[in-house]
Amino acid sequence: MAAGTDCPPFATYKHHGPQRTAADYERVAKDIAAILDRPGYDDGSIGPVLVRLAWHAAGTYDRKTKTGGSDGATMRFNPEKSDGANAGLEHARAFLEPIKAKHPWISYADLWTLAVSPPSRPWAGPRSLGPLDEKTVSAKDIPPNGRLPDAAQGASHVRDVFYRMGFNDREIVALLGAHSIGRCHSDRSGFEGPWTYTPTRFSNQYFKLLLNTKWVPKTLANGNKQFVDEDDEIMMLPAEMAFVFDDQFKQYVELYAKDKNVFYADFAAAFGKLLELGVKRAKTKL
């Protein structure tokens, strides 16, 4: 899923400075791919935290007010930067700083989303016209906190959050598949542990585990409640258990657990849609 794994096609754009070609973006993608392996960090890869960065940058979009989204990379500023839902993402942003320093022409909005552009879904830039425009971000451009999902809530909350962005139930479950990689940290999200036994490999294992594991409630030291398998090796969040209790959601969990190819196709489409929310583009595309 991360850039370089299967680099998507790039278009040629003209914005601030010289014209940028497909080769320019491909070089950035390859440089990102080169830093993904990180011994000593989580499970040896920074790919999952980069996915979370792009997801949270885009997931603030409100289709009614046309505010939020990845354009402008507003997570660089408060209050969005200090939103509890974004705890720990300062690490993801820092991981990409050397890439930004090497390619100063690319905007942060493009850098953050290019880092996790889904294979088979063409990535397009620029989101902002360029770094100069990102310097003009004002307080009115920064979305309010509270727009990202609360993992302790249930199905109605999940629908409220995703319907606000313009997703339907099938797309919501497909996007949930991002949890096939990565893990939670008690000092960030307030929850702890990986969702799957292979947290650096993207697959449909997540859905199989969600359906077939005997989940046991567990209260963490901080008072938060989550669900773990009987050996306490993997976990699920309260909001995720709603996907097996809600029949509308469950039908898609079952579909993706059964057919990984359908899941891959649906995820690429839904995640690509997520990254496009609220994006304003340069009028000149060459």
Residue 276 domain flag: no
pLDDT at 284 (0 to 100): 44
pLDDT at 130 (0 to 100): 72
**Is there a single domain that holds both residue 27 and residue 136?**
yes
**Is there a single domain that holds both residue 103 and residue 129?**
yes
pLDDT, tens only, 203-236: 999 999 999 999 999 999 999 999 999 999 999 9
Secondary structure class of 81 (helix, strand, coil): helix
Active site residue 123: no
Residue 11 domain flag: no
Q: For residue 167, give the amino acid letter.
A: F
DSSP assigned state of 219: E
Q: Report pTM.
A: 0.90
Q: How many CB atoms lie within 10 A of CB 246?
A: 18
pLDDT at 131 (0 to 100): 76
**Is there a single domain that holds both residue 64 and residue 164?**
no
Measure the CA–CA gap between 93 and 231, rounded to whole angstroms. 34
Measure the CA–CA gap between 124 and 224, rounded to whole angstroms. 39
Helix axes 238-245, 169-176, angle to 10 degrees: 130
pLDDT at 124 (0 to 100): 74
**Is there a single domain that holds both residue 36 and residue 118?**
yes
**Is there a single domain that holds both residue 28 and residue 129?**
yes
- Given a contact cutoff of 8 angstroms between Cβ atoms, the answer to whether 53 and 167 are in contact is no
**Is there a single domain that holds both residue 132 and residue 185?**
no
CATH number for the domain harbouring residue 190: 1.10.420.10
pLDDT at 280 (0 to 100): 81
Domain boundary among 142, 169, 194: 142
Residue 17 domain flag: no
- Given a contact cutoff of 8 angstroms between Cβ atoms, the answer to whether 204 and 260 are in contact is yes
Catalytic residue among 56, 112, 179, 215: 56
Find where tokens 């889904």 sit.
118
pLDDT at 17 (0 to 100): 55
pLDDT at 282 (0 to 100): 62
Backbone φ and ψ for 92, nearest 5 degrees, come out as: -60, -45
Residue 279 domain flag: no
**Is there a single domain that holds both residue 129 and residue 162?**
no
Secondary structure class of 182 (helix, strand, coil): coil
pLDDT at 98 (0 to 100): 97
**Is there a single domain that holds both residue 79 and residue 123?**
yes
Find where tokens 């307080």 sit.
139
Measure the CA–CA gap between 245 and 272, rounded to whole angstroms. 27
**Is there a single domain that holds both residue 126 and residue 177?**
no
- Could you tell me which of 157, 179, 178, 159 has the C-alpha nearest to residue 169? 159
- Could you tell me which of 72, 243, 207, 228 has the C-alpha nearest to residue 141? 72
**Is there a single domain that holds both residue 110 and residue 209?**
no
Q: Is the peptide bond before 126 cis (omega within 30 degrees of 0)?
A: yes
Q: Where are the alpha helices (DSSP H) in the chain?
A: 22-34, 47-58, 89-102, 108-114, 131-134, 155-165, 169-176, 205-212, 238-245, 247-258, 260-276
Low-confidence ranges of the chain (pLDDT < 70): 1-18, 117-122, 129, 132, 282-286
What range defines the domain where residue 166 resides? Answer: 155-269
Find where tokens 């509890």 sit.
84
Active site residue 56: yes
Tally the domains of the chain.
2
CA angle, 174 then 178 then 182, to 5°:
160
Residue 100 domain flag: yes
**Is there a single domain that holds both residue 137 and residue 57?**
yes
pLDDT at 119 (0 to 100): 52
Residue 284 domain flag: no
Residue 36 domain flag: yes
Residue 275 tokens, joined: 């990254």
Residue 234 domain flag: yes
CATH number for the domain harbouring residue 121: 1.10.520.10
